[in-house]
Amino acid sequence: MDDRKAEAVPQVEHDSVKSSEERVKQALENARQAVKPIVKQEMEGELVSNELLSVRLRSPK
Amino acid sequence: MPPGRYEYPTTDIAVSPFAGDVRSFFPKPQGLVESEWPPTQVEYLGIYLKEIGCKTILVEGHYMDRDYVYDVALFYSRSLRSYPNYCQRLHFFSQEFDQQTWRSMVVESASREKAGKFLRDCYLGFSVVKPLPGSPLGRTVLPTLGPEAKSGAKRFFGAVRPYQVHVAGFELEVVGLVFQQQDQGVSACATTALWSAMHNVTKAEGLTVLTPAEITEAASRYALPTGRALPSEGLTIQQICEATRAAGLQPVLIPSVSLDHDRAQLLAYLSSGFAPVLALQPLSGSGVGHAVCAVGLKISQIRPQSNPELHFKDRATSVTGIYIHDDRLGPYATAELVSWTAENGKIRTAVFIRWPDADVPAEQSLLQAIIVPIPSKLRMSLTRIRALAHGLAQAAAVLFPEFTGHIVFNCRYQLAHDYLANAAKFGLSEDGSYELQCKTVLSRFVGLIEITNEDEPLFDVLLDATETLANPSALAVVSRNGLPAKYHPELTNIARQFAARLIL
């Protein structure tokens, strides 16, 4: 058996796993950047003001 | 009763056919009535009962109602007028029967079981009639409207629960959410809305449900910006939060940001079983705010993505309306959610409330805030879950190219045991199924991100809802039926990136 050949197979698999992992990592990071404006808008909207806390709810029946 | 006489009251249970309205059960009080009679809520009740097919009303002459007794103890017992401490209760049925048949059902022991089944099958719920001249409609639980609206839109009622009812030894059940007319003696609209909102979650958490009077007291304990607690002058949003904490729950306060944001919050909380209180500002009138309790959703098609850079859709865009308990109107009133340009040019969310049989909205309001009473240990905010879900959906659209443009994300909370109870239907391997159900530690509530190919589930991400940040709190990534095995390596790496357990 060719020793070099035997070693080469796991190396290819290892590279493929590594590249798949990198691809997913990159996709998640790109996605995070792409949705940043929506996320920022939703987060900033949650800030509660004193004015809002003082809104009185009392409608006549 | 003259002083010195201590008889117990006499009572009977009377049967009455439902003739299309319930005005006869709410006689006009003597003297000057300051508002219209019958109250709007009584008229609404008649219309709603007709809509759900009521045929017969059973009148329980003497009924002790826990909520009303607290109102009496706190407020009415100290009035000059002697208010009785008991009420009447009306039970509604979808089958016709008369007094003689009712008597037979009660006394004939041989057919008692059959009678019980008949009553259970046609039971539609109940209304308590309080002996208060101005606000007679008390605790009311009715079933929701059917699963499909006339427009073809789907109805979903997430914040309802079963209520067991006992009358003449029969145990009946109605699934709904409690409603009552506001009583300005002890509760304004905000109190009543919060009372309804807490009814489902307190029961599920094993907590005592506060009565409207207790809510008003708790809200006024530390802050009284309105001058006096009783008669109720209404509550501020801060007081609603205070009363929620007094009930053993936590208030999530979400300012209204945009229609998309508000729809997402309503969908997530209602589909998680939590009823939100909505703070509304009417577009016309006195400018005084109003509060209602959201009970259900009207769902149509999911809208396509409007941003060409993004390749996924948000399930929240399918929400077109809500069903609310409006204490000035009645239970399960229909309300549309629409975008509205306010005077300052800002785009806001407007709520158009309608009567069940009318095409014209009864009232138009701007949504100011959403307040949701939730269990204390549910700490991860929905906005944080959505922040993670947006990115995950966009990444899924890239990593699973055959689904690009059809990826939909949805976020909600779910009890871990409810999630696990459905695990057998996820299409997992035996090892995966065992791993999820026996080897994965889950928080009592999980934050759930569902990624689907339109309606077909692809995978879920389970988050530890007791944490405050979504990103480092992923417990598991779970493959679902719709995800082809060829994408398992990508899912494996997603789980790795989230430091979460992989379930295949």
Q: Compute CA B178 distance to the chain's CA centroid, rounded to the nearest angstrom.
A: 9
Question: Does B230 touch chain A if contact means CB atoms closer than 8 Å?
Answer: no
Nearest residue in chain B measured CA to CA from A57: B289
Identify whether the C-beta of residue B366 lies closer than 8 Å to the C-beta of residue B290.
no
B351 three-class SS: strand
Closest-CA distance of chain A to residue B145, Å: 24
The pLDDT tens digits for B309-320 are 999 999 999 999
Q: What is the ipTM of this complex?
A: 0.80
Identify whether the C-beta of residue B470 lies closer than 8 Å to the C-beta of residue B416.
no
**Closest by Cα among B357, B328, B358, B352 to B338:** B352
Q: Compute CA B496 distance to the chain's CA centroid, rounded to the nearest angstrom.
A: 38
Walk across the sheet containing B474-479 and list its strands.
B312-314, B407-415, B445-453, B456-464, B474-479, B501-503
Cβ-defined contact of B257 to A49 (cutoff 8 Å): no
Is the alpha carbon torsion for B206, B212, B216, B221 positive or negative? negative
pLDDT of residue A1: 46
Q: Compute CA B116 distance to the chain's CA centroid, rounded to the nearest angstrom.
A: 29
Taking 50 as the threshold, does the pLDDT of residue B347 lie above it? Answer: yes
Closest-CA distance of chain B to residue A10, Å: 17
Nearest residue in chain B measured CA to CA from A27: B395
Residue B14, Cβ neighbours under 10 Å: how many?
Answer: 13
Question: Does B398 touch chain A if contact means CB atoms closer than 8 Å?
Answer: yes
The pLDDT tens digits for A25-60 are 999 999 999 999 989 888 887 788 888 888 888 776
Average confidence (pLDDT) over B440-469? 94
Cβ-defined contact of A45 to B261 (cutoff 8 Å): yes
Q: What is the DSSP letter of B17?
A: E
Q: Is B5 exposed, middle or buried (0-12, 13-18, 19+ CB in 10 A)?
A: exposed
* More reliable by pLDDT, B268 or B184: B268
In whole angstroms, what is the distance from residue B353 CA to residue B322 CA? 9
Closest-CA distance of chain A to residue B22, Å: 19
In whole angstroms, what is the distance from residue B478 CA to residue B502 CA? 6
Q: Compute CA B381 distance to the chain's CA centroid, rounded to the nearest angstrom.
A: 19
Q: State pTM to two decimals.
A: 0.91
Cβ-defined contact of B237 to A38 (cutoff 8 Å): no
Q: What percent of chain B has pLDDT over 90?
A: 69
In whole angstroms, what is the distance from residue B494 CA to residue B459 CA? 11
Average confidence (pLDDT) over B194-211? 91
Identify whether the C-beta of residue B386 lies closer than 8 Å to the C-beta of residue A42.
yes
Residue in this structure with the two tokens 């996320």, named with its chain if needed: A39
In whole angstroms, what is the distance from residue B403 CA to residue B406 CA? 5
pLDDT of residue A43: 84
Nearest residue in chain B measured CA to CA from A21: B493
Tokens representing residue A38 in the block? 């929506």
Most confident by average pLDDT, B77-86, B144-153, B199-208, B264-273: B264-273
SS3 string, B446-485, reads: EEEEEEEECCEEEEEEEEECCCCCCHHHEEEEEECCCCCH
The pLDDT tens digits for B377-386 are 899 999 889 9
